[in-house]
Amino acid sequence: MTTGHVFIATSLDGFIARPDGDIGWLHEIDAAGEDHGYDAMLESVDGLVMGRRTFDKVLSFEAWPYTKPVIVLSRTIDGGDVPAALRERVRLKQAEPQALMAELDRNGWRRVYVDGGQVIQSFLREGLIETMQIARIPRLIGQGVPLFGTLEEDVPLEHVETRSFPSGLVSSLYRVKIKPVQ
Ligand SMILES: NC(=O)c1ccc[n+]([C@@H]2O[C@H](COP(=O)([O-])OP(=O)(O)OC[C@H]3O[C@@H](n4cnc5c(N)ncnc54)[C@H](OP(=O)(O)O)[C@@H]3O)[C@@H](O)[C@H]2O)c1
């Protein structure tokens, strides 16, 4: 079965963006020359699944940053809302996480980069995330878009490794423990 993988940066108080979606603070630490593993992560996946809000943010970047195919989950926009230059690379979908992963599995995708707070939470709730690499930025922002949310049951994690960098960024890799069959 296709596995989901998270690679994301948060404030120390657990937010991935300010309430208005601003992520400028992520880049205000001096992390020049540090390799946090982002390129290796992108290289390791067959493609990305992201929420529409994350897609909106990426569209505001100067250039489209991905070479791998991207699936955007939305119930409010459709393929016609994707800029023409991206239509070969971006697919809009309205699908539940399990059904989407089963479809990707049939299409030969082995590993998927899952991005966006709401989307990550929904994939976690369905047991579709295998690893999470979380980079904590040394800053408290007080309020914002949370990475994690409510759960019906605990999600036990295995800590694989933590690395710290001169910029103060601390990156931890967790493996989500497979639930024993009841
Ligand atoms: N710090 C970081 O590393 C990092 C990484 C990624 C994103 N971000 C930031 O996080 C913010 C976005 O995160 P977010 O939690 O607000 O939103 P998100 O997860 O990116 O997107 C949520 C949207 O995805 C759609 N969606 C989710 N599940 C769906 C499903 N099963 N089927 C169809 N559509 C589904 C809905 O879009 P519709 O409303 O269109 O139906 C929903 O409103 C942005 O500000 C972004 O810049 C930060």
Per-residue pLDDT tens over the stretch 142-154: 999 999 999 999 9
The mean per-residue pLDDT over the stretch 159-169 comes to 98
Q: Is residue 31 part of a domain?
A: no
Q: For the domain that residue 79 is a member of, what is the CATH number?
A: 3.40.430.10
Atom of ligand 1 nearest to the CA of 135: 3
Query: Residue 158 falls within a domain, yes or no?
Result: yes
What is the average per-residue pLDDT within 62-74? 97
Q: Pick the closest to residue 44 from 106, 110, 93 (CA basis).
A: 110
Give dist(CA 72, CA 84) in Å, integer. 15
**Residues 109-142 pLDDT 10s:** 999 999 999 999 999 999 999 999 999 999 999 9
pLDDT for residue 181: 54
Residue 180 has pLDDT above 60, yes or no: no
pTM for this model (two decimals):
0.97
Higher pLDDT, 182 or 52: 52
Residue 54 Cα to ligand 1 midpoint, Å, equals 5
For strand 170-176 and strand 157-164, is the pairing parallel, antiparallel, or unpaired?
A: antiparallel
Is 94 domain-assigned?
Answer: yes
Query: What is the total count of domains within the chain?
Result: 1
CB 145 near ligand 1, within 6 Å: yes
pLDDT score recorded for residue 78 = 87
Which pLDDT score is estimated for 178?
72
pLDDT-derived band of residue 34, with 50, 70 and 90 as boundaries? very high
- Residue 166 located in a structural domain: yes
Non-local (6+) Cβ contacts of 43 within 8 A are none
181 domain-assigned: no
The atom of ligand 1 lying closest to the CA of 58 is 47
Residue nearest to atom 25 of ligand 1 (CA): 74
Name the token pair of 117.
């707070």
Residue 75 within a domain: yes
Q: Residues 27-38: what's their mean pLDDT?
A: 94
> In this structure, is residue 131 part of a structural domain?
yes
Provide the residue range defining the domain that includes 123.
Answer: 3-26+39-176
C-alpha of residue 15 to centroid of ligand 1, in Å: 13
Q: Report whether residue 94 contacts ligand 1, using a CB cutoff of 6 Å.
A: yes
The answer to whether residue 32 sits within a structural domain is no
